[in-house]
């Protein structure tokens, strides 16, 4: 018998709307699962059980009267701890913010509440979402491996089933990275469609708030609950209603040459090649092409991100520098040293790629670009390199940023969907499309997901054995 915590967002929402499941029953089941897994997972930074229970009861009272706040009515969700939730701590994984409590909801949280969501609490993150240090969250597939960054708690919580969906932030891949590592779906939306107010920014230019869930359908439904009302029309309407079918004649571009430059491992290549064969069986044409300018993204992204981070942290560092992790502080202080000429050049690269990639896609007739999400399976935490730039390699954060930062720099949507295993660890398939093509990117990912079984590997059912 399926327990309520095992339900996806879409399925649970349907049951609640039909009065076959109550929001309180769902929350109680999720809390039981959290209790069973948290000693291992360490995904949560703060829990508001009483507040969530009150919100769930209110959702049930409204449902009894035939009133529903929105598509996420009664669905419990978690929020990365760099995003404000009123009356909850926003500590960003940093001692320098210990005890800091949000006075108001971030814009995206207000939107979720308006959609009927129940906010359960805050999820672990690397300090200020910089990817530095080692948060307590553990990889549910292998406790010795990297669990994803910097939305690490969001990925782990969804993977172990202690929440059906969560918010993360993505500056250079930090929604899609933990999604891939944990065998989940993660979406970095188009620029400007999800509010970034009330977020502790790394970079206001590069940062995007995005959803992590167990399936594409759940991810799309959660995304709809996040989108600013004024942005819905620009997306062509709610995306979850438009992912069931993909238009005829879809073409996706693949640059296999750049995979070798990125250092993509043979196991990941094999899994992604098999995924491309599935897409071809679905009637999607795969076109080999060359787009070497994608590799310009990494250094431009780092220059913009760190220079903006230095501005965001300048005042706090004056009074609390000693409470930052040394590696985080060095990164931020390095941002203050980026020259105006380098920043100007980075913005020129951004402008170049924002025009080049859509024009290239139009010229070659492709609707999106497809690649591995990460160059390799999750590395062992003991050997993980957290440098932002450097040579490609299986243990390199720089390699992941090199592959994922083009979507952040250009504002294009990118999604990671599970596409197989290598050495018993999840592999992600990445699909990136033009700005505001979020619905199409989700539809392509959904078509692939329906033709495979990889997303059914979560929740990780071996976890109770691991816990023993």
Q: Which residues are catalytic?
A: 80, 150, 174
Contacts with 54 (C-beta within 8 Å, 6 or more apart), sequence order = none
Dig out the tokens for 127 from the structure: 């300090």
- 319, with CB counted inside 10 A (0-12, 13-18, 19+), is exposed
d(CA 379, CA 148): 10
d(CA 141, CA 428): 14
d(CA 221, CA 215): 10
**Residue 379: which of 263, 457, 295, 461 has the closest Cα?**
263
**Residue 181: which of 463, 457, 466, 391 has the closest Cα?**
457
Tracing tokens 């929020």 back to the chain, one arrives at 79
Tracing tokens 């050495």 back to the chain, one arrives at 423
**Residue 152: which of 208, 47, 82 has the closest Cα?**
82
Tracing tokens 């931020």 back to the chain, one arrives at 332
DSSP 3-state of 145: strand
| Residues 56, 63 contacting (CB under 8 angstroms) | no
Dig out the tokens for 104 from the structure: 């108001």
Q: How far is CA 266 from CA 270, 273, 372, 375, 455, in A?
A: 6, 10, 11, 9, 22
Q: How far is CA 209 from CA 9, 36, 51, 195, 222, in A?
A: 18, 29, 23, 8, 12
d(CA 28, CA 227): 28
Give the helix/strand (H/E) hosting 446. Answer: helix 438-450
Q: How many CB atoms lie within 10 A of CB 345?
A: 14
User: Residue 306: CA atoms inside 13 Å, Cβ hemisphere, count?
Assistant: 26
């Amino acid at each position: 018998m399926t327990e309520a915590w095992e339900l996806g967002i879409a399925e649970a929402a349907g049951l609640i709307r039909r009065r076959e499941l109550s929001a309180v029953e769902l929350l109680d089941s999720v809390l039981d699962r959290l209790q069973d897994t948290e000693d291992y997972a360490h995904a949560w930074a703060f829990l508001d059980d009483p507040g969530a229970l009150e919100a769930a009861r209110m959702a049930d009272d409204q449902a009894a009267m035939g009133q529903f706040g929105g598509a996420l009515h009664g669905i419990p969700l978690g929020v990365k701890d760099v995003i404000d939730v009123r009356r909850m701590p926003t500590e960003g994984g940093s001692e320098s913010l210990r005890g800091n409590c949000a006075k108001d909801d971030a814009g995206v949280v207000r939107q979720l509440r308006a959609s009927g969501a129940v906010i359960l609490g805050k999820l672990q993150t690397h300090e200020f979402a910089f990817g530095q240090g080692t948060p307590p969250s553990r990889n549910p597939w292998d406790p010795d491996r990297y669990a994803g960054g910097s939305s690490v708690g969001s990925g782990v919580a969804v993977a172990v089933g202690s929440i059906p969906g969560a918010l993360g932030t993505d500056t250079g891949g930090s929604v899609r990275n933990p999604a891939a590592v944990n065998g989940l779906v993660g979406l970095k939306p188009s620029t400007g469609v999800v509010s970034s107010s009330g977020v502790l920014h790394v970079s206001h230019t590069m940062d995007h708030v995005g959803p992590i869930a167990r399936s594409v359908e759940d991810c799309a439904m959660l995304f709809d609950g996040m989108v600013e009302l004024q942005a819905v029309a620009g997306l062509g309407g709610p995306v979850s209603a438009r992912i069931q079918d993909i238009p005829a004649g879809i073409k996706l571009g693949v640059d296999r040459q750049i995979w070798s430059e990125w250092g993509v491992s043979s196991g990941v290549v094999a899994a992604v090649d098999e995924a491309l064969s599935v897409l071809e069986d679905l009637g999607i044409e795969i076109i080999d092409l060359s787009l070497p300018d994608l590799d310009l993204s990494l250094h431009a992204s780092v220059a913009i991100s760190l220079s903006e981070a230095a501005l965001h942290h300048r005042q706090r560092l004056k009074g609390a520098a000693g409470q930052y992790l040394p590696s985080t502080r060095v990164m931020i202080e390095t941002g203050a040293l980026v020259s105006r000429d380098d920043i100007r050049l980075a913005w020129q690269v951004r402008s170049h790629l924002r025009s080049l990639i859509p024009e290239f896609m139009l010229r070659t007739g492709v609707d999106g670009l497809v690649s591995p999400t990460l160059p390799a399976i999750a590395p062992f935490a003991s050997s993980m390199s957290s440098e932002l730039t450097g040579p490609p390699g299986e243990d390199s954060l720089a390699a992941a940023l090199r592959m994922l930062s083009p979507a952040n720099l250009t504002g294009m949507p990118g999604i990671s969907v599970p596409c197989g295993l290598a050495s018993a660890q999840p592999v992600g398939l990445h699909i990136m499309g033009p700005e505001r093509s979020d619905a199409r990117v989700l539809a392509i990912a959904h078509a692939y997901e329906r033709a495979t079984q990889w997303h059914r590997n979560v929740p990780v059912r071996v976890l109770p054995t691991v816990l023993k």
